[in-house]
Structure 1
Amino acid sequence: MRVLVVGSGGREHALVRAIAKSPLVTEIFCAPGNPGIATFAKLVPIAVTEIEALTRFAANNAIDLVVPGPEAPLVAGLYDRLHEQGIRCAGPSMAAAQLEGSKQFTKEVADAAGIPTARWEAFTDAEQALDFIRRRGAPIVVKADGLAAGKGVVVAQTVEEAEEAVIACLQEGSFGAAGARVVIEEFLEGPEVSVFALCDGTDAIFLGAARDHKRVGDGDTGPNTGGMGAIAPPPGFTHELRDSVMETIIRPTLHEMASRGIPFRGILFAGLMLTAEGPKLIEYNVRFGDPEAETLLPLLDSDIMPALLAVCDGGIKHVAPRWRAEASVSIVLAARGYPSAYERGTEIRGLDKAAADVEVTIFQAGTKADGSRILADGGRVLVVNATAPTLAGARSRAYATVDAIDWPEGFCRRDIGAHFT
């Protein structure tokens, strides 16, 4: 089979690496990819939002399966165009992708399906939103309704902080059209967990769970980011919790989506809060997480392709991915200044030497090649993953590898998973 992976980050590097292990696959392409992905796939210079160009490439190159990494092409209708051409796509339709494209849509689906979630209201008028916040008080959560690259959520500890978030979205236009509506919801307490399920429109199987570390600084300080590291499996996430999430959150979502005539096919990523009252839905994403993909996929001990094909063709309940019974830790190396302004073009040295440990993988996320040199070309630049029988062992391996990379212009959190060891 010929496979096209769409994306250029660490998540896509992890997906391509996993797909390359399948005996079903004869050739892999990645659009646009990065230097690390080039080890496994032929790079195609097409941006993820160029839907027509991606569709033409898939049709002209006899692609059997397209695997989208990020959410933007799905929300823009990549599945729909590929489906018109008779090409499989392991992701949802544009209509179903609104589970990530609109926070309000997700909340409406959750309410209709009886899914436990935070109480909420949506606003397009700043004065009404500010009045609501002043009446409710803090802590409170303010979210840009649309796609904001993981940066449109403010967990406000004070009323003033929440007011600033509303003004940034609705008056200053900080997130453009994505922030033209805000969803304001109650603050939930408890540990967060990312749960992934593979869905074929009618049924789902549990794929895995991880714990992301969103804030930029040690001790969960500073602004939210796209993710500074992750661990798997999440400590305390029992089989009973897993089954509860599948029965009270994932499957009711699938049933509600199907009843609306927009069945969900693809990877459903549920961001959950494990409250004292049980798991509650924070938000949905319609693709693998990043850096969760780089954390979970190194533990996969079976062929990923049958599962991706079942997403498209049905019969997902007959697929049973196997996982190594180990711990996995991923550390993000970001360019100094991220998630605000950061410098591009600095050289990263020592990657080959740093990756000598067979239980360590360095996924490239925001990089570009300059001859034989690897340069930083994004905010989150590298993801260092390590696996080991214990979480402590995986952390030790991951940080030893981080310290072996020669990139003075980068930084990372030093406490990924530390709370659990």
Structure 2
Amino acid sequence: MSYRELATRPVLSWSAVVVASRLPVAMAPLALVFLVRERPGGYTLGAVLAAVYVIGEIIAAPVLGLRMNPGRARPQLVAGLAAGAAGFAGLGLLGGDGHPVLLGGCAFLAGAGPAAVPGGLRALLTSLVPEGAVTQAMSMESVLTFAIWAAAPALVTGLALGTDPAVPLLLQGVLQALAVAGMWLLPPGWQNDSEDGKKGAGAGASLGRLLARAWPVYVTGAAGLTLLALAELILPALLEQRAVAIGWAGPLLAGFSLGSAVGAFLYGLRGSWPGRLPVQAAVLTLAVAAGVALVAVLPWTAAMAAGLVAAGLLQAPAMLTRNLALREALPPEAVAAGYSVMYAAVGAGYAASGTLAGGLLKVVAPSTAILCGVVLTVTLAAVGFWGERRIAGARAVEEGPGVVKEGV
């Protein structure tokens, strides 16, 4: 199927809701830094608020995702978006002079409230298109997501410096409130009543056990975000090491995002690619790791730019294959919860990599810190691939007698 077949009213409505709900998320860390940067110790407080926001996401995503009702998800999604809108509005109204505890509480609410929304909306998207168009739909989602993440920093910077540091947070609250209204343009859930009684592969198994069986996909997902953290957090220090103007960090990261958007689009042009999804995910993650490693060792700015664009080109397909593999590994009633757990896992991978990078930069050169992060990524990818192979082997053993019986 082609991308043209996604141009339906439900998918366009879904896209509008996604922009309104995810743009505030993409804006959040930088907006929190700008909000408090002019007060004493503002940059440190901004980093703490951003960390509190991310912790809220990591904690709440699996907890709320596990409670998502596939047939009647709208009330939960609306409540989460409303909580996020309240958190962002509270931050904007308190302003940069607000008490740190109150600001931290609002930041936690803004992160935790809508943490399960991305997973729910992704599950909803796959129910709006035919089965044969799922790959294209998820590719389209990735293109949209990378476009949002590319636009967010410029939007925050322009509003914070051109008007007032509180304006981006107030806009984020308004956007999530608009997403609440937009939810009534979409179906109430992604699984109808007749499907509720057909648990398929999930019959007799608890949701927690089903999600636990997909742990290799979460590990591979964390590996992928480790690379993204390396590219974003260490690049400025690497440029200084290379005696390159730090202003190149923005264009280089924009090239990474542009490459990712193009990679997502190209991946969706074909309905299927050679190899099983877990194998594709592992190979693509290792290829992205190789691109980031080249950025660490090549001294020329043009070569670094080429390495980042190439890494971005493969990063999006790597993310897509992980999401598709997770959808393949779980029954329909567990997919949204699985996406939420994945959301928490990749957030944890990003945070762990950022912590590692910060610690390493105190004792080694930026290029060495990147290479250490690449080693961590390769290790996580190898563990995830080993886990997937082990689970696939165990599943084949379990299904073996049944297959023989059918043959007889």
Normalised TM-score (structure 2): 0.27
Normalised TM-score (structure 1): 0.26
Which structure: greater helix fraction?
A: 2
Which structure: greater strand fraction?
A: 1
Higher relative contact order (Cα pairs below 8 Å, separated by 6+ residues): 2
